[in-house]
């Protein structure tokens, strides 16, 4: 086994270096994964260029899939995606299996090293084994797939609903597909970018037009912008359901008249965070199943593939928006 590997290491805010680091050694309960695909999350841009990680140096990357190469003979050779949250397994939320609410969790790619690297030692309990026929690039979209599935589950989409998804990025386009899967009779998307709206049409989703389409039964807020939320609530039917998912970039300011509509229309607003990964509710196994059957298009979301050696070029392209992109993914040989 090699002693070093290549990784994209964040040394300080804005200082990401492609360099040699020691090979990870799997501890008890861990396996060694050879990373084959790792997506860049929208949240990685502020993590790398603005806020930084919890400590330096850190290897980012929490949306990934790879091949198990060491640690457990029964698992070696298998393909897997990884639930990136490492719960404490001791707090009240953990006892219920609600790991996203864990009071003391660890996280691959933010609190501890992640997958912008050739190898990663991962907890066996976090593995999501992939069936044959699902590519690594597709499998690396399990994380946004599960987050989108959790959001749509909380939205309670039922047969015949008219659902509108605000924000046509990768998670929004997966959520729109989950809403269609759940039986929504009509699904529309909203975005300020004409390019994103044109891209959404490839998945069969037209832009929402309030005049033409009328008010909707349920809506997913995926932009994290107060102006979008202000507009969204005026598009809801009385008793409509809203799920809030978008990470706010700044204070969420809702206009007085829009706020009144939340009251007058008796809307239900609900937050969503991460995804469920337990034996009762598992957004990950549902996501994998939809990947295996091809019911939901994932790989088509990938607009750019880069080798890890070009990590800075990929991230700067996203930061500066020099090209249109939806999902940008590192692929490894």
Does position 102 interact with Zn ion (CB under 5 A)? The reply is yes
| Stretch in the footprint of Zn ion (CB under 5 A) among 75-83, 94-102, 204-212, 297-305 | 94-102
CB of 330 to Zn ion, least distance (A): 14
| Stretch in the footprint of Zn ion (CB under 5 A) among 1-9, 35-43, 171-179, 265-273 | 35-43
The footprint of Zn ion on this chain (CB under 5 A) covers a number of residues equal to 6
| Stretch in the footprint of Zn ion (CB under 5 A) among 39-47, 75-83, 203-211, 216-224 | 39-47
User: Which residues are bridge partners to 58 per DSSP?
Assistant: 10
Does position 242 interact with Zn ion (CB under 5 A)? The reply is no
CB of 270 to Zn ion, least distance (A): 20
Rounded Cα–Cα distance for residues 123 and 113 (Å)? 13
Residue 15 buriedness (CB in 10 A; 0-12 / 13-18 / 19+): middle
Asked if residue 212 lies in contact with residue 188, where contact means CB atoms within 8 angstroms, the answer is no
Rounded Cα–Cα distance for residues 326 and 307 (Å)? 17
Q: Which of 52, 87, 109, 114 binds Zn ion (CB under 5 A)?
A: 87
Nearer to Zn ion, 105 or 332 (CB): 105
Among candidate residues 164, 169, 153, the one with its CA nearest the CA of residue 219: 164
CB of 146 to Zn ion, least distance (A): 10
Does position 317 interact with Zn ion (CB under 5 A)? The reply is no
Question: Going residue by residue from 245 to 274, which x/- string records binding to Zn ion, judged by CB under 5 A?
Answer: ------------------------------
Give the Cβ contact number of residue 244 at 10 Å: 21
CB of 186 to Zn ion, least distance (A): 28
* Residue 236 structure tokens: 């809801």
41 half-sphere exposure, CB direction, 13 A CA radius: 27
| Stretch in the footprint of Zn ion (CB under 5 A) among 88-96, 239-247, 278-286, 307-315 | 88-96
Does position 39 interact with Zn ion (CB under 5 A)? The reply is no
* Residue 70 structure tokens: 């060491």
Does position 152 interact with Zn ion (CB under 5 A)? The reply is no
Q: Which of 23, 45, 75, 91 binds Zn ion (CB under 5 A)?
A: 91
Asked if residue 4 lies in contact with residue 23, where contact means CB atoms within 8 angstroms, the answer is yes
* Residue 205 structure tokens: 């989703």
CB of 62 to Zn ion, least distance (A): 6
Does position 96 interact with Zn ion (CB under 5 A)? The reply is no
Among candidate residues 319, 80, 312, 320, the one with its CA nearest the CA of residue 330: 312
- Going from the C-alpha of 266 to that of each of 185, 220, 233, 236, 258, the distances in angstroms are 23, 17, 10, 10, 12
Does position 192 interact with Zn ion (CB under 5 A)? The reply is no
CB of 147 to Zn ion, least distance (A): 7
Q: Which of 33, 41, 165, 288 binds Zn ion (CB under 5 A)?
A: 41
Does position 94 interact with Zn ion (CB under 5 A)? The reply is yes
CB of 49 to Zn ion, least distance (A): 16
Helix axes 256-264, 226-233, angle to 10 degrees: 40
Rounded Cα–Cα distance for residues 63 and 22 (Å)? 22
Q: Which residue ranges make up the site for Zn ion (CB under 5 A)?
A: 41, 87-88, 91, 94, 102
């Amino acid at each position: 086994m090699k002693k070093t590997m290549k990784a994209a290491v964040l040394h300080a805010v804005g200082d990401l270096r492609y360099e040699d680091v020691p090979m990870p050694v799997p501890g008890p309960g861990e396996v060694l994964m050879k990373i084959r695909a790792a997506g860049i999350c929208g949240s990685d841009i502020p993590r790398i260029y603005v806020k930084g990680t919890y400590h330096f140096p850190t290897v980012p990357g929490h949306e990934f899939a790879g091949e198990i190469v060491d640690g457990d003979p029964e698992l070696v050779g298998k393909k897997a995606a990884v639930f990136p949250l490492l719960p404490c397994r001791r707090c009240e939320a953990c006892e219920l299996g609600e790991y996203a609410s864990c009071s003391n969790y660890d996280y691959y790619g933010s609190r501890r090293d992640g997958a912008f690297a050739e190898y990663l030692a991962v907890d066996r309990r976090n593995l999501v084994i992939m069936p044959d026929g699902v590519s690594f690039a597709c499998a690396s979209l399990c994380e946004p797939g599960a987050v989108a599935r959790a959001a749509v589950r909380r939205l309670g989409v039922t047969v015949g609903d008219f659902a509108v998804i605000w924000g046509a990025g990768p998670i929004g386009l997966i959520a729109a597909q989950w809403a269609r899967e759940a039986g929504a009779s009509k699904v529309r998307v909203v975005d300020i970018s004409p390019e994103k709206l044109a891209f959404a049409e490839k998945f069969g989703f037209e832009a929402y037009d309030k005049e033409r389409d009328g008010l909707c039964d349920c809506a997913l807020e995926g932009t994290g912008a107060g102006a979008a939320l202000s507009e969204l609530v005026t598009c809801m039917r009385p008793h409509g359901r809203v799920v809030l998912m978008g990470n706010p970039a700044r204070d969420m300011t809702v206009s007085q008249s829009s706020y009144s509509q939340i009251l007058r229309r008796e809307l239900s607003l609900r937050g969503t965070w991460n995804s469920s990964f337990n034996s009762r509710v598992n957004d990950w196994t549902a996501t994998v199943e939809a990947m295996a059957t091809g019911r939901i298009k994932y790989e088509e979301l990938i607009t750019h593939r880069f080798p890890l050696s070009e990590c800075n070029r990929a991230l700067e392209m996203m930061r500066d928006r020099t090209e249109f992109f939806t999902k940008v993914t590192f692929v490894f040989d």
